């Protein structure tokens, strides 16, 4: 390093001039060229993923994204987690209830009452906490395997499919931990319900 800091880029005017030009250059490189080149390469190499991993139903109509949860109100379907935004993926998020917020306890108690009414066969102490809590995104596409299996008696009663058949269906849809190590075992609710609906010939 030399010591001539007073010359060249050392005076105020030339600093400002370089600052303006460097800003423009990097706005173009980082703000325009980089995202557009990324989009081009992504669309070319991985079009399915780049466009939202969309799922089609049996009549090959787009019925959603495998990554975005949907609301299921029909008791004959497996239901996903609580979503304060009702799985409207134009937005995302939850109502951010702190553990000490009474509204959280009230909401959970209401979910428990609803469970008792709709699933008289399965006692509340079997219900996993993940099923009746709000996901962070409000769009969680997954439930835990146990959250799926506790819903089997209800679905069997409504649809007429045997519990054994449903258990096989759930088992087929369990996704393992990534690389056998990371994250949790999970079931994609939309995929499971698509398979269920195909089985029922809906």
Partner 1 sequence: MDILQMLVVIAVLVLLVKPLGTYVYHVFSNEQNRLDKVYGGTEQFIYRLIGLKRREGMSWKVYALSFIATNIVLVAFSYLILRLQNALPFNPNAIGSMEPTLTFNTVISFMTNTNLQHYSGESSLSYFSQMAVIIMMMFTSAATGFSAAIAFVRGITSKGKTIGNFFEDFVKAHTRIFLPISFIFTLVLVALQVPQTLDPTLTVKTLEGAMQQIAIGPVASLESIKHLGTNGGGFFGANSAHPFENPSPLTNVIEILCMWALPAALPYTFGLYAKNKKQGWVIFSAMMCLFLVFLSVAYTSEKVGSPAMNTLGIDASQGSMEGKEVRFGIAQSALFTTVTAAATTGTVNNMHDTLTPLGGLVPLAEMMLNVVFGGKGVGLINMLMYAILAVFICGLMVGRTPEFLGRKIEPREMKLIAIAILAHPFIILVPTAIAFMTDLGQGAISNPGFHGISQVLYEYTSAAANNGSGFEGLGDNTPFWNISTGLVMLFGRYISIIAMLAVAGSLVRKQPVPETIGTFRTDNALYTGLLIGTVLLIGALTFLPVIVLGPVAEYLTLR
Within 165-194, the residues that bind partner 1 by CB under 8 A are 177-179, 181-184, 186, 190, 193-194
Q: What is the largest CA-CA distance in the chain?
A: 86
Kindly tell me which residue out of 60, 90, 160, 201 binds partner 1, with binding defined by CB under 8 A: 90
| Interactions with partner 1, residue window 106-135 (CB under 8 A) | 108-109, 112, 124-130, 132-135
List binders of partner 1 among 18-57 (CB under 8 A).
18-27, 29-32, 34-39, 41-43, 45-46, 49-54, 57
**139, burial (CB in 10 Å: exposed 0-12, middle 13-18, buried 19+):** buried
Contact segment (CB under 8 A) with partner 1 among 93-101, 152-160, 165-173 equals 93-101
If one asks whether residue 102 binds partner 1 (CB under 8 A), the answer comes out as yes
Q: How far is the CB of 156 from partner 1 (least distance, A)?
A: 19
Instruction: Report CA-CA distances (Å) from 171 to 119, 152, 179.
Output: 21, 12, 19
3-state secondary structure of 174: strand
CA distance 202 to 180: 35
């Amino acid at each position: 390093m030399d010591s001539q800091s007073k010359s060249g880029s050392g005076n105020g005017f030339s600093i400002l001039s370089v600052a303006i030009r460097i800003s423009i250059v990097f706005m173009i490189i980082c703000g325009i060229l980089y995202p557009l080149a990324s989009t081009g390469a992504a669309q070319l190499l991985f079009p399915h993923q780049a466009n939202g991993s969309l799922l089609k139903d049996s009549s090959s109509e787009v019925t959603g994204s495998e990554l975005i949860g949907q609301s299921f109100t029909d008791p004959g379907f497996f239901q996903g987690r609580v979503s304060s935004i009702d799985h409207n993926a134009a937005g995302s998020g939850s109502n951010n209830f702190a553990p000490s917020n009474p509204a959280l306890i009230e909401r959970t108690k209401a979910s428990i009452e609803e469970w008792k009414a709709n699933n008289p066969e399965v006692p509340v102490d079997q219900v996993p906490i993940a099923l009746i809590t709000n996901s962070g995104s409000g769009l969680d596409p997954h439930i835990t395997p146990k959250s799926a299996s506790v819903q089997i008696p209800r679905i069997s009663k409504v649809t007429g499919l045997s519990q054994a058949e449903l258990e096989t269906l759930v088992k087929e849809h369990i996704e393992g931990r990534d690389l056998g190590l990371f994250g949790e075992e999970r079931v994609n609710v939309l995929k499971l319900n698509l398979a269920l609906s195909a089985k029922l010939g809906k």
